[in-house]
Amino acid sequence: MSTSFWCESLLIDGVAVAGVRLEVDSAGRITRVQVGSAQAADIRLGTVVPGFGNAHSHAFHRALRGQTHEDDGDFWLWRERMYRVAAQLDPSNYQALATAVFAEMLVCGYTAVGEFHYVHHHADGVPYEPAHAMELALAAAARAVGIRLVLLDTIYLKGGIGRELATEQRAFGDGTATAWLTRWQSLRAQLEGDDLVTLGAALHSVRAVPPDAMREVLDGLPREVALHVHLSEQPQENTDCLAAYGLTPTGLLESLGALTARLSVVHATHLSDTDRARLGDAGVTVVMCPTTEADLGDGIGPALALATAGSPIALGSDQNAVIDPFLEMRGLEMAERLASQQRGRFSPAALLAAASTAGYAALALGRHRLQPGDPCDLVEISTTGVRTIGSLLGQLPLTATAADVLRVFVGGRLVAECGQLVGGERPAMMMADALVRLGR
């Protein structure tokens, strides 16, 4: 069934256009965009932006929110606590947790999410029966709330360069690249034809995947599949990689032919000038996760330098200590201001593109500029609240928060409104139930 929307203002490529009608087909794709008056059958909206694409998420990390913030330490200490949560997961409680996390994302304006998923098996490494139980739990969670999910199934073979998996990492491993590819192909067959859920892939990092295994994965994956990798989040990764291979992590990926426009690297915080040039020259997308990078004390990544070099910048919520696309946009710009002591490093339009169109592109979800043929994934923003009143519409990325999200549409279908799902479910109550299942 086709439908139509009339937007009082629609931000197209970051520019507010008044009085825009969108006609949408039964598949949820835009068929016509025109400036004009509303018609009787139109769904009337106020100020509308493209739905946000969360290009990097670890849903189960949400269980650590509010649990790890008072102590000293660094990423490596936080990681030990993360392993404890991973050990508690099973398909049932993971589905409940992911459903709550995806619901929170949806009411906050995310219409698509790339889930960087590596908790594949029982805690002792034994595969689930039936197969793919954890992956299918995530798919069911996305379908339950109506968010687009790109499941970035992750290969994770080593506990560090030259080290076997530790006991707490056994759930992540498939033993060999061949075994991972076999499981990936089987999972792809099960998910084929799903309107909301598609399968992507990820190399966890150069720490967790040896070069020969990375080469096998690169040769074995279809070229159209989104491929992601954690890159140089911590200086220790660079040090270990240089010691083992004589190359930086970026240099190692380049030597394997991995640096192409289909690749997205996550964080890219600690790079050399040569690394930045390599990524930019290849058109590799860089997924920044400002709230997580700040929370873990990772450092400020060279976002503007990477963008200037030619790398598209996308955004992700990563550990989900914060789920708010506006705060990720704001974090990207404010970190640049602090590092450079200059304002306006990224324009509001560039921030909006990073949070929406670049995120969709990084997840191989196609074009997302609210043009004919694009998915009708929309977010309506309040411009009369205490945070946004008086804002120029083009500057909403620097004034609004997720609390200003009114209605959210995925494929032209209303999925969330004023902080709750369209069926009335509230993410906070869903999360409360999920945490009880985890023994909290």
Least confident of 42-51, 69-78, 298-307, 345-354: 69-78
Contact 252, 274 (CB under 8 A): no
Q: Residue 76: pLDDT above 90?
A: no
C-alpha pair distances (Å), 404 with each of 172, 198, 232, 384: 38, 29, 34, 9
Domain boundaries, the chain: 3-49+371-423, 52-363
Q: Average pLDDT of 126-149? A: 98
What is the structure's pLDDT at 193? 93
Between CA 111 and CA 149 the distance in angstroms is 9
Number of C-beta neighbours around residue 358 at 10 A: 25
Residue 67 exposed, middle or buried by CB count within 10 Å (0-12, 13-18, 19+): exposed
Q: From the options 2.30.40.10, 3.55.30.10, 3.40.1160.10, 2.40.128.260, give the CATH code of 3-49+371-423.
A: 2.30.40.10
Between CA 255 and CA 268 the distance in angstroms is 17
Q: Tell me: the pLDDT tens digits for 273-294?
A: 999 999 999 999 999 999 999 9
What is the structure's pLDDT at 68? 84
Helix or strand holding residue 18 (H, E): strand 15-24
Between CA 311 and CA 277 the distance in angstroms is 9
Q: Average pLDDT of 155-159? A: 98
Q: Average pLDDT of 330-357? A: 98
Residue 164: beta bridge partners? none
How long, in residues, is the chain?
440
| Catalytic entry in 61, 228, 267, 368 | 267
- How many CA atoms does the CB half-sphere of 134 hold within 13 Å? 28
What is the structure's pLDDT at 70? 75
Q: Tell me: the pLDDT tens digits for 24-52?
A: 999 999 999 999 999 999 999 999 999 99
Q: Look up 122 and say whether it is catalytic.
A: no
Contact 127, 175 (CB under 8 A): no
Helix or strand holding residue 327 (H, E): helix 325-340
CATH level 3 topology of 52-363: TIM Barrel (3.20.20)
| Catalytic entry in 153, 318, 324, 377 | 318
3-state secondary structure 103-134: HHHHHCCEEEEEEEECCCCCCCCCCCCCCCHH
Q: Look up 56 and say whether it is catalytic.
A: no
What is the structure's pLDDT at 67? 86
Q: Average pLDDT of 377-397? A: 98
